[in-house]
Amino acid sequence: MTPYIAIDHLTVVYRDIPALWDVSVTFPKGKTISVVGPNGAGKSTLLKTILGLVDKQSGSIKIDGVDHLHLKDRHKKIAYVPQRDSIDWNFPTTVLDVVMMGRYGHLGWFKRPGAEEKRLAMDALTKFEMDKYADRQINELSGGQKQRILLARSYVQDAEIYFLDEPFGGVDTKTETKTLELLAELKEKEKTIIVVTHDLQSLVSYFDFVLLLRNQLVACGSPKEVITQEFLTKAYGGQLHLEYGEMGGEYT
């Protein structure tokens, strides 16, 4: 398949310690990709570097053949759902205002959101069962509710590429279900989706490709190709064990 996102010899260093070292990998368009690996493996760093939030020391990142920092209309084409703890939830704003931020890339710098943006935002809140909280301050929400408004904000953006950093971490069952429904809907629309997750059990059911990291590239391919005992041992150092039963692989 023609590469849509191409990462070539990428190295990222924090305080003289490599977070990513000489990583080369390509992803096709319109697929769901999971980035997995142990804590500190560089998973979130990879997403932030592609997004331009973290500087790289060497290597290149291209999206649709263009340098990732020079992609035309990148604020419209790329949606990002960060980890919840990276956001200042004490900032005085409402749930509706946060979701409408997903439309700013379509409006441009000087046009204020109007009735159409509010309608789209309310539709997204309804989709994620958060419409009754539209006027609530964001610091009054539970962890799962916060995650759902971040998902609603990304959904209303109608981007081409979605980056989700640990969307399943510490959420309730309803939020996990809504997240999986969103992934399925985006996949149906042939969006490109890259998700950092620790949930190895969901890989076969919801993802086309898996990127396994331990600061360097351990493996990349289909879930069945990547999630093997050999590669798990390389990545996790024997912390995970793969057992096969009637339903396939299970991790202990």
Least confident of 68-77, 110-119, 187-196: 110-119
Please, which pLDDT band fits residue 107 given cuts at 50, 70 and 90?
Answer: confident
Please, which pLDDT band fits residue 244 given cuts at 50, 70 and 90?
Answer: very low
Nearest-angstrom CA–CA distance, 204 and 184: 13
Question: What pLDDT does 247 receive?
Answer: 34
Mean pLDDT of the region 190-199? 92
Question: What pLDDT does 251 receive?
Answer: 53
Question: What pLDDT does 239 receive?
Answer: 65
Nearest-angstrom CA–CA distance, 28 and 141: 37
Question: What pLDDT does 249 receive?
Answer: 54
Mean pLDDT of the region 131-154? 95
Q: What are the helix (H) ranges across 64-114?
A: 74-77, 95-100, 104-107
Question: What pLDDT does 241 receive?
Answer: 59
Q: Look at phi and psi of residue 123 and say left if phi exceeds 0, alpha if psi is from -120 to 50, else beta.
A: alpha
List of residues 6+ apart from 34 with CB closer than 8 A: 194, 195, 196, 197, 202, 203, 206, 207, 209, 210, 211, 223
Nearest-angstrom CA–CA distance, 75 and 179: 22
Question: What pLDDT does 82 receive?
Answer: 94
Q: Which of 24, 141, 27 is nearest to 93 (CA)?
A: 141
Mean pLDDT of the region 45-68? 96
Question: What pLDDT does 201 receive?
Answer: 80
Please, which pLDDT band fits residue 58 given cuts at 50, 70 and 90?
Answer: very high
To the nearest whole number, what is the mean pLDDT of the chain? 89
Angle at which helices 143-157 and 173-188 cross, to 10°? 10
Mean pLDDT of the region 83-90? 91
Question: What pLDDT does 248 receive?
Answer: 47
Q: What is the CATH number of domain 3-87+160-251?
A: 3.40.50.300
pLDDT tens-digit series, residues 176-187: 889 988 999 999
pTM: 0.90
Return the higher-pLDDT residue of 243 and 66.
66
Q: For the chain, give every domain's residue range.
A: 3-87+160-251
Token pair 């351990």 is found at 218
